């Protein structure tokens, strides 16, 4: 569906490792509290459903190449651990990874498949494809946003105008159909469905300051700067209410915000989990100092416990015994944002080892994306973790 709830990977321990900037990961799905296919429950990835674990030290480039090799078939990013389906988010991750690593052939294949199979008449991307056809046409704004960012980056990197044009067109439709003005500023809605009612459903982790900047520069549309400001204001308001951001929230027309238990206001208790943990990564890669400062606000709570749990309440108390690479990845981003580079590198390496031990589509994607965002400028960000970065 248009809003997603990511899947946890249950593990019992994470090895202590030396400081080297490497990689991170997890698994994703969509909530059952909205129309669309049911989300899988948090738990371990089924044995044999993906590439077998090989917990070795990898560079960012090696992780990217592994994702493109293991999870992409003829341009389709296949969620082998989730029934062999494909979602727009996965295609967007594939586009970002291929653009970041400079693989024009892989990028072209992924975009051609996406354009042919997921792009709707209005230009947005249908969320889910399975068994040879689209099975959920509702777009998910994070997938569309990441795809537009990747297209613009690829157009420049590969000197291919058709990618730039496609990214600019997609950006225009996102701004038209999946953003709304509030007293706090313009915000990104999780999907077209969210525009129908106020207060507006809001996923804080969908906001991507670097994507807003890239698309603003490519289009000249002032709404992208408005989205940057509005998203920052809403995130700041949420962090004024609690030490950690929630997976889901709602934003009122007057700009006030509330943490919510799910996209539709139902489901699990309010929590910091598999969605919200992406927020510090997206803010830490921003070139805007205030955005990096936002990522830094999470560090004291996340650094309180050596062994992070996959889901906590908004004060950092565990809600599960599960561990997950994304928790380490998020802490790496927060630590990097305050200049604690050795411990940030430790977290990234531990996350990558954990991701390799329990492989998944989403884990492999973030094993490539996290070091790209935090240690390189390959995706047009300003990485906070550069010492010892792999490339």
The torsion angles phi and psi of 320, rounded to 5 degrees, stand at -155, 160
On whether the CB atoms of residues 63 and 351 are closer than 8 A, the answer is no
Locate the domains of the chain by residue range: 159-375
A 10 A CB-CB count for 160 gives 17
Pairing state between β 179-182 and 133-136: unpaired
Q: Record the tokens describing residue 232, joined without a space.
A: 């920052």
One CATH from 2.60.40.10, 2.30.40.10, 1.10.620.20, 1.50.10.10 for 159-375 = 1.50.10.10
Separation between Cα atoms, residue 181 and residue 253, nearest integer Å: 8
- The residues, any chain, with a CB within 8 Å of residue 334's CB and separated by 6 or more, are 280, 284, 295, 296, 297, 298, 299, 302, 303
Separation between Cα atoms, residue 180 and residue 312, nearest integer Å: 30
Per-residue pLDDT of the chain (391 residues; tens, 9 = 90+): 333 333 333 333 333 223 323 323 323 333 333 433 333 322 223 333 344 444 568 888 999 999 999 999 999 999 999 999 999 999 999 999 999 999 999 999 999 999 999 999 999 999 999 999 999 999 999 999 999 999 999 999 999 999 999 999 999 999 999 999 999 999 999 999 999 999 999 999 999 999 999 999 999 999 999 999 999 999 999 999 999 999 999 999 999 999 999 888 887 899 999 899 999 999 999 999 999 999 999 999 999 988 899 999 999 999 999 888 888 999 999 999 999 999 999 999 998 998 899 888 888 888 889 999 999 999 999 999 984 443 3
């Amino acid at each position: 569906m248009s809003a997603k709830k990511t899947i946890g990977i249950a593990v019992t321990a994470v090895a202590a490792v030396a400081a080297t900037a490497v990689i991170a990961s997890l698994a994703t799905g969509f909530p059952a509290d909205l129309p669309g296919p049911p989300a899988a429950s948090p738990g371990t990835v089924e044995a044999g459903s993906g590439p077998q674990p090989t917990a070795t030290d990898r560079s960012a480039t090696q992780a990217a190449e592994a994702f493109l090799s293991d999870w992409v078939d003829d341009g389709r990013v296949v969620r082998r651990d989730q029934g062999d389906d494909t979602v727009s988010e996965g295609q967007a991750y594939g586009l970002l990874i291929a653009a970041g690593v400079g693989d024009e052939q892989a990028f072209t294949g992924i975009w051609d498949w996406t354009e042919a199979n997921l792009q709707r008449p209005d230009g947005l991307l249908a969320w889910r494809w399975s068994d040879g056809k689209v099975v959920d046409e509702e777009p998910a704004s994070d997938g569309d946003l990441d795809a537009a960012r990747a297209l613009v980056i690829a157009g420049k990197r590969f000197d291919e105008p058709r990618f730039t044009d496609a990214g600019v067109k997609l950006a225009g439709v996102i701004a038209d159909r999946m953003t709304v003005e509030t007293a706090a500023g313009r915000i990104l809605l999780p999907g077209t469905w969210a525009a129908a009612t106020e207060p507006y459903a809001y996923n804080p982790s969908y906001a991507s300051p670097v994507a807003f900047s890239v698309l603003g520069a490519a289009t000249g549309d002032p709404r992208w700067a408005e989205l940057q400001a509005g998203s920052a204001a809403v995130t700041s308001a949420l962090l004024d209410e609690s030490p950690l951001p929630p997976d889901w929230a709602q934003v009122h027309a007057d700009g006030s915000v509330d943490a919510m238990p799910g996209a539709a206001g139902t489901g699990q208790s309010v929590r910091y989990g598999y969605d919200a943990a992406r927020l510090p990564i997206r803010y830490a890669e921003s070139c805007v100092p205030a955005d990096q400062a936002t990522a830094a606000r999470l560090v004291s709570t996340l650094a309180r416990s050596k062994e992070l749990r996959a889901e906590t309440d908004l004060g950092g108390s565990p809600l599960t015994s599960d561990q997950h690479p994304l928790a380490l990845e998020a802490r790496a981003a927060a630590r990097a944002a305050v200049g604690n580079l050795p411990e940030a590198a430790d977290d990234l390496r531990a996350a990558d080892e954990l991701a390799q031990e329990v492989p998944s589509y989403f884990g492999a994607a973030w094993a490539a994306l996290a070091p790209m965002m935090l240690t390189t400028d390959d995706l047009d960000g300003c990485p906070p973790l550069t010492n010892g970065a792999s490339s």
